[in-house]
Chain A
Amino acid sequence: MNTQANADVAMTDAASNEYLVFSLGDEEYAVDILKVQEIRGYENVTRIANVPEFIKGVTNLRGVIVPIIDLRLKFNLENVEYGGQTVVIVVNVADRIVGIVVDGVSDVMSLTPEQIKPAPEFGVTLSSDYLNGIGSLDDRMLVLVDIEKLLTHEEMQLVERTAETA
Chain B
Amino acid sequence: MDISDFYETFFEEAEELLADMERLLLDLDVDDPDIEDLNAIFRAAHSIKGGAGTFGFTVLQETTHRLENLLDHTRRGELKLRRDIVDTFLETKDMLHDQLDAYRNGSEPDAEAFERISRVLQQMALEELGQGGADDAPPPAAAEPAPVEVAASESAAPEPVAQASEPQDAGDRQLAITLNGVNEKDRELLVEELQHFGKIVSRSGDQACYSVVLASDESRDDIEAVLCFIIEPDQLSITDVVASPADDAPAASGNESAGSDESAPESMAGESVAGESTAAERAVHGDAEDDIAQPGPLANDANTASGAAASPAKPAAKSAAKNGGKGGKNAESSTIRVPVDKVDQIINLVGELIITQSMLEQTANDMDIVSHGPLVNGMNLLQRNARDLQESVMSIRMMPMDYVFSRFPRLVRDLAAKLGKDVELVTEGKSTELDKSLIERIIDPLTHLVRNSLDHGLESPERRIEAGKSATGRLTLSAQHQGGNILIEVIDDGAGLNRERILAKAKSSGLPVSDTMSDDDVWQLIFAPGFSTAEQVSDVSGRGVGMDVVKRNIQEMGGHVEILSQPGNGTTTRIVLPLTLAILDGMSIRCGAETFLLPLNAVLESLQPQAEEIYSMAGDDQLLKVRDEYLPIISLHHALDVVGAKTEVTESIAVIVQGEGRRYALLVDDLIGQQQVVVKNLETNYRKVPGISAATILGDGSVALILDIADLHRLDRRKSQQRHESKRHHLQEVSPA
Assess whether A97 is interfacial by the CB under 8 Å rule. Answer: yes
Contacts of B715 in A (CB 8 A): 50
Assess whether A9 is interfacial by the CB under 8 Å rule. Answer: no
Q: Which of B662-712 contact A (CB under 8 A)?
A: 680-692, 695, 697, 700-705
Q: Interface residues of B, CB < 8 Å — how many?
A: 32
| Bound CA–CA A63/B639 (angstroms) | 27
Tell me the number of A-to-B contacts counted with CB atoms below 8 Å.
75
Say whether, besides A59-B703, A60-B702, A60-B703, A48 and B689 are in contact (CB < 8 Å).
Answer: yes
Contact A50 B641 (CB under 8 A): yes
Contact B685 A47 (CB under 8 A): no
Assess whether A51 is interfacial by the CB under 8 Å rule. Answer: yes
In whole Å, how far is B502's beta carbon from the nearest beta carbon of chain A? 31
| Bound CA–CA A135/B683 (angstroms) | 35
Contact B683 A160 (CB under 8 A): yes
Contact A47 B594 (CB under 8 A): yes
Assess whether B351 is interfacial by the CB under 8 Å rule. Answer: yes
| Bound CA–CA A50/B715 (angstroms) | 10
Q: Interface residues of A, CB < 8 Å — how many?
A: 25
Assess whether B15 is interfacial by the CB under 8 Å rule. Answer: no
Contact B702 A65 (CB under 8 A): no
Assess whether A6 is interfacial by the CB under 8 Å rule. Answer: no
The interface bits of chain A over 46-69 (1 if a CB of B lies within 8 angstroms of the residue's CB, else 0) are 111111000001111011111100
Assess whether A159 is interfacial by the CB under 8 Å rule. Answer: yes
Contact A58 B684 (CB under 8 A): no
Assess whether A96 is interfacial by the CB under 8 Å rule. Answer: yes
Contact A46 B685 (CB under 8 A): no
Contact A65 B703 (CB under 8 A): yes
Assess whether A44 is interfacial by the CB under 8 Å rule. Answer: yes
In whole Å, how far is B685's beta carbon from the nearest beta carbon of chain A? 5
| Bound CA–CA A9/B248 (angstroms) | 67
Among B355, B682, B688, B701, which residue has its beta carbon within 8 angstroms of that of A65?
A: B682
The interface bits of chain B over 433-456 (1 if a CB of A lies within 8 angstroms of the residue's CB, else 0) are 000000000000000000000000
Assess whether A150 is interfacial by the CB under 8 Å rule. Answer: no
Assess whether B411 is interfacial by the CB under 8 Å rule. Answer: no
Assess whether A5 is interfacial by the CB under 8 Å rule. Answer: no
Q: Which of A8-59 contact B (CB under 8 A)?
A: 44, 46-51, 57-59
Contact B685 A67 (CB under 8 A): yes
| Bound CA–CA A2/B489 (angstroms) | 44
Say whether, besides A44-B701, A49-B691, A65 and B686 are in contact (CB < 8 Å).
Answer: yes
| Bound CA–CA A75/B640 (angstroms) | 25
In whole Å, how far is B592's beta carbon from the nearest beta carbon of chain A? 10
Assess whether B361 is interfacial by the CB under 8 Å rule. Answer: no
Contact A98 B685 (CB under 8 A): yes
| Bound CA–CA A131/B302 (angstroms) | 78
Assess whether B271 is interfacial by the CB under 8 Å rule. Answer: no
Contact A158 B687 (CB under 8 A): yes
Assess whether B348 is interfacial by the CB under 8 Å rule. Answer: yes
Among A47, A66, A97, A160, which residue has its beta carbon within 8 angstroms of that of B687?
A: A160
Contacts of A67 in B (CB 8 A): 685-686
Contact B687 A157 (CB under 8 A): yes
Contact B703 A49 (CB under 8 A): no
Say whether, besides A58-B695, A63-B352, A65-B695, A48 and B705 are in contact (CB < 8 Å).
Answer: yes
Q: Which of A102-145 contact B (CB under 8 A)?
A: none
Contact B348 A63 (CB under 8 A): yes
- A48 closest partner in B (C-beta): B689
Assess whether B120 is interfacial by the CB under 8 Å rule. Answer: no
Assess whether A166 is interfacial by the CB under 8 Å rule. Answer: yes
Contacts of B689 in A (CB 8 A): 48-51
| Bound CA–CA A159/B349 (angstroms) | 26
Contact A63 B686 (CB under 8 A): no
| Bound CA–CA A32/B537 (angstroms) | 60
Assess whether B369 is interfacial by the CB under 8 Å rule. Answer: no
Contact B686 A58 (CB under 8 A): yes
Say whether, besides A46-B594, A46-B705, A96 and B692 are in contact (CB < 8 Å).
Answer: no
Contact A63 B641 (CB under 8 A): no
Which of A49, A62, A63, A67 counts the most chain B CB atoms within 10 A? A49
Contact A65 B681 (CB under 8 A): yes
Contact A64 B684 (CB under 8 A): yes
Contacts of B701 in A (CB 8 A): 44, 60
The interface bits of chain B over 628-650 (1 if a CB of A lies within 8 angstroms of the residue's CB, else 0) are 00000000000111100000000
Contact B702 A50 (CB under 8 A): no
Contact A64 B704 (CB under 8 A): no
Contacts of A58 in B (CB 8 A): 682, 686, 695, 703
Which of A51, A57, A64, A65 counts the most chain B CB atoms within 10 A? A65
The interface bits of chain A over 63-85 (1 if a CB of B lies within 8 angstroms of the residue's CB, else 0) are 11111000000000000000000
In whole Å, how far is A132's beta carbon from the nearest beta carbon of chain B? 23
Contacts of A48 in B (CB 8 A): 689, 692, 705
- B686 closest partner in A (C-beta): A67
Contact A44 B691 (CB under 8 A): no
Contact B686 A50 (CB under 8 A): no
| Bound CA–CA A158/B683 (angstroms) | 10
| Bound CA–CA A138/B157 (angstroms) | 100
In whole Å, how far is A138's beta carbon from the nearest beta carbon of chain B? 37
Contacts of A51 in B (CB 8 A): 689
Contacts of A63 in B (CB 8 A): 348-349, 351-352, 355, 680, 697
Which of B689, B691, B715 counts the most chain A CB atoms within 10 A? B689
- A99 closest partner in B (C-beta): B685
Contact B687 A159 (CB under 8 A): yes
Among A44, A96, A97, A157, which residue has its beta carbon within 8 angstroms of that of B702?
A: A44
In whole Å, how far is B118's beta carbon from the nearest beta carbon of chain A? 43
Q: List 10 A-B contacts (CB under 8 A).
A: A46-B702, A51-B689, A59-B703, A62-B352, A64-B680, A64-B684, A65-B684, A65-B686, A96-B685, A158-B687
Residues on A close to B: CB < 8 A? 44, 46-51, 57-60, 62-67, 96-98, 157-160, 166
Task: List 5 extra interface pairs beyond A46-B695, A66-B685, A166-B688, CB under 8 A.
Answer: A50-B690, A58-B686, A64-B680, A64-B684, A96-B685
Closest 3 CB pairs of A and B: A49-B640, A160-B687, A46-B703
